[in-house]
Amino acid sequence: MRDNLIKYILGIADNSLILGQRLGELCGHGPNLETDIALTNISLDLLGQTRNYYQYIARLSGNNKTEDDIAFMRSEREYINVLLVEQPNDHFGYVIARQFYYDVFHYLLMQNLQNSSDETLAAIAKKGIKEVSYHLRFSSDWIKRLGDGTKESHQKIQEAIDDRWVYTNELFMKTEADELLINEGVGVNVLDFKEAYYQKVSQVLEEATLTVPDEKYYQKGGKEGIHSEHMGYILAELQYMQKSYPNLKW
């Protein structure tokens, strides 16, 4: 039970860590000051949520394990984030498309996780949902602004929306730990809100005068630890300090 709970929490937390890290790369590189600050603020929220999850996992694990061990000392195959969050920033349209696809999911997940029978997870979700609603507002606004903007911005955001679409379905693939924890009343059944997810996504895209992709081929693997070629580079940067100077503290 404990191992499954840890696995379940990691499945949520690793998404926040890797997306937070991706957004962190944009610090000082945003297209303008306000967006730069917004994206790094979102990154900070995600890393804060990650810390709450990892601290909880550290408590569950015992053996003097710390949040840093979990964040920095695992190998690539031990991270179980979805492929969507590790996709590169490429151009601003890609940053927004990835964020939007994740925010809609994240919001619905937090909404449901608030009712978890696990007190700590419910508490993290109750705090998280308020932050995530700001994220979702930000990314939805940008989808509309770019989609309904100039010819070039429309074309670029449509390109990103189409390319990242193949990663959305993995969000709704249940793992063994998911199944077990759902039965315990701890975990959220993501299939309960799959329809609501695609409805919300379509609604915003249509409002943005964008075409909703109809591709039925999807990518998967992250949840089993099988990542895209980008993951190694992310971890190289993320883990560098702790691997070079073990137990380093700021």
Partner 1 sequence: MILKKQLIEKELISVLKTVSDPEIPVLTILDMGVVREAREVNGIVKVNITPTYSGCPAMDVIGDDIIKAFDDVGKKATVELTLSPAWTTDWITLEGRKALEDYGVAPPLNPTADKEVLLEEKRMVTCPNCKSTKTVVVSQFGSTACKALFKCEDCKEPFDYFKCL
Query: Applying CB under 8 A, which residues contact partner 1?
Result: 34, 37-38, 41-42, 44-49, 51-52, 119-120, 122-124, 126-128, 130-131, 134, 137-138
- Which CB sits closer to partner 1, 133 or 239? 133
Cβ-based burial of 64 (10 A; exposed 0-12, middle 13-18, buried ≥19): exposed
- Which CB sits closer to partner 1, 43 or 169? 43
User: Minimum distance from CB of 44 to partner 1 (Å)?
Assistant: 4
- CB 144 within 8 Å of CB 219: no
User: Minimum distance from CB of 51 to partner 1 (Å)?
Assistant: 7
Residue pointed to by tokens 């991706």: 22
What is the C-alpha radius of gyration for the chain, rounded to an integer number of angstroms?
A: 18
- Which CB sits closer to partner 1, 130 or 243? 130
- Which CB sits closer to partner 1, 29 or 137? 137
Instruction: Give the relative orientation of helices 92-113 and 2-24 as an angle to the nearest 10 degrees.
Output: 150
User: Minimum distance from CB of 237 to partner 1 (Å)?
Assistant: 19
- CB 57 within 8 Å of CB 13: yes
- Which CB sits closer to partner 1, 120 or 228? 120
- Which CB sits closer to partner 1, 39 or 97? 39
User: Minimum distance from CB of 47 to partner 1 (Å)?
Assistant: 5
- Secondary structure (DSSP) of 175-225: -HHHHHHHHHTSS--GGGGHHHHHHHHHHHHHHTTPPPP--------GGGT
Residues sharing a CB contact under 8 Å with residue 62, sequence separation 6 or more, in sequence order: none
Alpha helices by DSSP H, listed for 73-118, are 83-86, 92-113
User: Minimum distance from CB of 111 to partner 1 (Å)?
Assistant: 14
